[in-house]
């Protein structure tokens, strides 16, 4: 089962997430991180940035983005390559050459998924995958209906996701229709999953993902199949959880030696 930690704020959750990254990097300085975009991981990246300022060295870390839009021109400010450069690579002092994003350019798009899978494999797999969750229960850009066995491939975004992400673009029509995303099978291969969810708008999707039935209709429910999942949420995102009291009780009584 996933370990669900209900925190008082996104900032508190971000500190726990940063603890997990820091512990991993202490053990493996060239650890492979899976990086998510969207607004959810930003508090985690900010918390890590403060630790880097205080001496944490992430310069040998390698990273793979979860997903990318298809067809945005190179250097578009909302391409996930640009977003990660701005929000993670530069502030965290990562080696840009060791951070890979799926290739969303139209030329060669048919092989973008296979090339990405090969690169992840060549890096020895992902040690810690950071995940957000979409209001429709997607992780990465695996929209409802995605196979639990899926690998990195081109997907069509739902209207809901395009609508949710329109805030990052000048108009809704500018949000690309297609993406390249790590599959649910790709995500399940990572050695540790760190799912973050903040705010009321994520409460239903989160409850379905961690307490509902395994279903391709709720792609994030795939995490129930993974042996090592940490779910860090604030009170609002936890408001739909039926077993919230148990998760609080388990956290309060967690054996010290366990770590995250
Ligand atoms: C986006 C991304 C996901 C992200 C999710 C939630 O579309 N592709 O990786 O986790 O939707 O976004 P946000 O964190 O902004 O709510």
Query: Span 125-139, mean pLDDT?
Result: 96
Measured CA to CA, the distance from residue 67 to residue 180 in angstroms comes to: 6
Indicate the helix (H) or strand (E) that contains 17. helix 10-27
Mutational pocket test of ligand 1: of 10, 131, 133, the residue with most ligand atoms within 8 Å of the beta carbon: 133
pTM of the model: 0.96
Residue 153 pLDDT greater than 70, yes or no: yes
CA-38 nearest atom, ligand 1: 15
138 has catalytic annotation:
yes
For the Cβ of 40 lying below 6 angstroms from any atom of ligand 1, the answer is yes
131 near 66, Cβ under 8 Å?
Answer: yes
Nearest to 157 by CA among 83, 82, 70: 70
Burial letters for 67-83: b for 16+ Cβ neighbours within 10 Å, e otherwise? bbbbebeeebebbbbbb
Highest averaged pLDDT of the listed ranges 60-69, 164-173, 249-258: 60-69
64 near 123, Cβ under 8 Å?
Answer: yes
The model's pLDDT over 219-247, given as tens digits with 9 standing for 90+, comes to 999 999 999 999 999 999 999 999 999 99
Mutational pocket test of ligand 1: of 35, 37, 186, the residue with most ligand atoms within 8 Å of the beta carbon: 37
Query: Span 128-156, mean pLDDT?
Result: 97
In the chain, what are the domain boundaries? 3-254
Residue 24 CA to ligand 1 centre (angstroms): 24
Query: Span 57-61, mean pLDDT?
Result: 98
What lies within 8 Å, CB to CB, of 116 at 6+ separation is: 64, 100, 102, 103, 152, 180, 182
Residue 167 tokens read as 């805030």
Query: Span 179-204, mean pLDDT?
Result: 98
Cα 151 versus chain centre, distance: 15
* Angle 201-202-208 from CA coordinates, rounded to 5°: 130
Alpha-carbon distance values, 228 to 29, 60, 118 (Å)? 21, 24, 23
What lies within 8 Å, CB to CB, of 121 at 6+ separation is: none
For the Cβ of 67 lying below 6 angstroms from any atom of ligand 1, the answer is yes
Residue 1 pLDDT greater than 80, yes or no: no
Residue 122 tokens read as 């060549």
What's the pLDDT score for residue 74? Answer: 78
- Per-chain mean pLDDT for the chain: 97
Residue 213 tokens read as 């039935």
What's the pLDDT score for residue 258? Answer: 87
Measured CA to CA, the distance from residue 181 to residue 116 in angstroms comes to: 10
234 has catalytic annotation:
no
What's the pLDDT score for residue 256? Answer: 85
CA-80 nearest atom, ligand 1: 8
The model's pLDDT over 163-187, given as tens digits with 9 standing for 90+, comes to 989 999 999 899 999 999 999 999 9
What's the pLDDT score for residue 36? Answer: 98
Residue 140 pLDDT greater than 80, yes or no: yes
Fold of 3-254: Rossmann fold (3.40.50)
Number of H helices, E strands in the chain: 9, 10
The model's pLDDT over 78-119, given as tens digits with 9 standing for 90+, comes to 999 999 999 999 999 999 999 999 999 999 999 999 999 999
The model's pLDDT over 8-30, given as tens digits with 9 standing for 90+, comes to 999 999 999 999 999 999 999 99
13 near 7, Cβ under 8 Å?
Answer: yes
Q: Please report which confidence band the pLDDT of residue 259 belongs to, taking 50, 70 and 90 as the band edges.
A: confident
Query: Span 35-55, mean pLDDT?
Result: 97
């Amino acid at each position: 089962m996933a370990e669900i930690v209900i925190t008082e704020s996104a900032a508190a959750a971000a500190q726990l997430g940063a603890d997990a990254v820091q512990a991993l990097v202490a053990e493996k300085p060239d650890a492979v991180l899976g990086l998510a975009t969207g607004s959810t991981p930003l508090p985690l990246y900010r918390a890590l940035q403060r630790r880097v300022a205080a001496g944490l060295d992430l310069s040998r870390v390698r990273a793979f983005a979860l997903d990318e839009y298809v067809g945005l021109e190179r250097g578009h400010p909302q391409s996930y390559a640009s977003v990660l450069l701005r929000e993670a690579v530069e502030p965290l002092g990562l080696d840009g050459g060791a951070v890979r994003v799926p290739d969303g350019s139209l030329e060669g798009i048919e092989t973008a998924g296979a090339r990405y899978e090969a690169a992840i494999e060549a890096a020895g797999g992902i040690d810690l995958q950071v995940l957000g969750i979409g209001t429709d229960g997607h992780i990465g850009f695996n929209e409802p209906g995605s196979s639990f066995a899926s690998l990195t491939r081109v997907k069509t975004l739902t209207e809901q996701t395009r609508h949710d992400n329109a805030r990052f673009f000048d108009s809704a029509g500018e949000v690309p229709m297609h993406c390249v995303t790590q599959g649910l099978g790709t995500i399940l291969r990572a050695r540790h999953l760190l799912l973050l969810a903040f705010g009321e708008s994520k409460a239903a999707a989160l409850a379905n993902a961690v307490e509902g039935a395994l279903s391709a209709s709720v792609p994030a429910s795939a995490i129930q199949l993974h042996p090592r999942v940490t779910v860090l949420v604030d009170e609002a995102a936890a408001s739909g959880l039926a077993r919230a009291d148990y998760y609080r009780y388990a956290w309060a009584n967690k054996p010290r030696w366990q770590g995250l």
